[in-house]
Chain A
């Protein structure tokens, strides 16, 4: 079964500092990996996705993630945090095979940005 583990339920950074949110996956087949962001009282918005093309994936709002097969990781980074980045971030892996497109999510990481 596929799964993801997000290390750190809460990350706090200063405005302008590097953002690093960690995600490790477990999958017996090449995975499809996603990062979603959730603002308070809103649904999930896709930041970026890895679908076995380039290992460095660029997303919206200046975020990017690098797929590292040897480390089974897909960490999310942003060079300079902005106050508007404060939200909860979820890493997810998509089920492989057939017409089942289920996403399995991690528990999420709450990002706080301090002025």
Chain B
């Protein structure tokens, strides 16, 4: 069974630029999550989708972050404009309803 796919794996940008990350969940998983993991901390949920609807985006900085999951499969997370404090690893995970969340390898973002 293929795991959660994410791209790119690494991205370096300058502050105020925009960036986008892509995630393809495990086939059949209706629930998709984006987590932000800052160095030295545990992952923090940014947004949870159930199919293509948003369940929880309470910790998403909506003035600069956006996410979509148009067809209920893959998803894109965008940051515009990026700030220095956005440097982190962005993890995508998926699950079959409330069951175990499976994580992708993450995208490491460095904002200079």
Chain A residues engaging chain B, CB cutoff 8 angstroms: 36, 41-46, 49, 90, 92, 94, 99-108
> How does the 8 Å CB contact mask read for B42-73 relative to A, with 1 for contact and 0 for none?
11110010100001100000000000000000
Instruction: Give A101's nearest chain B residue, CB to CB.
Output: B98
Q: Are A107 and B100 in contact (CB under 8 A)?
A: no
Q: Which of B65-97 contact A (CB under 8 A)?
A: 91, 93, 95, 97
A43-B106, A100-B56 given as contacts; is B101 within 8 A of A107 (CB)? no
Sampled A-B contacts (12; CB under 8 Å): A43-B4, A43-B106, A46-B102, A101-B48, A101-B55, A101-B101, A102-B33, A102-B45, A103-B45, A105-B43, A106-B42, A108-B40
> Is there contact, CB below 8 Å, between A90 and B42?
yes
CB pair B95–A105 under 8 Å, yes or no, is no
How many A-B Cβ pairs are below 8 Å?
Answer: 58
Cβ contacts under 8 Å, B55 to chain A: 99-101
B contact residues around A106 at 8 Å (CB) = 42
Residues of B within 8 A of A108 (CB): 40-42
By the criterion CB–CB under 8 Å, are A105 and B44 in contact?
yes
Cβ contacts under 8 Å, B103 to chain A: 36, 43-45
Contacts of A105 in B (CB 8 A): 42-44
Nearest Cβ in chain A — how far from B5, in angstroms? Answer: 11
- Kindly provide the distance from the CB of A70 to the nearest chain B CB, expressed in whole angstroms: 25
A49 & B100 in contact (Cβ 8 Å cutoff): yes
Which chain B residue lies CB-closest to A94? B98
Within 8 Å of chain A (Cβ to Cβ): is B104?
yes
Check A43–B42 contact: CB distance below 8 A.
no
A100 touches B91 (CB 8 A): no
Inter-chain CA distance A45–B44, complex, in Å, is: 16
From residue B45, how far is it (CB to closest CB) to chain A in Å? 5
Evaluate contact between B41 and A107: CB separation under 8 angstroms: yes
Report the Cα distance A41→B93, complex, angstroms.
16
Q: Chain A: which residue is nearest B50 at the CB level?
A: A99
A50 to B78, CA, bound (A): 34
A74 CB, min distance to chain B CBs, angstroms: 15
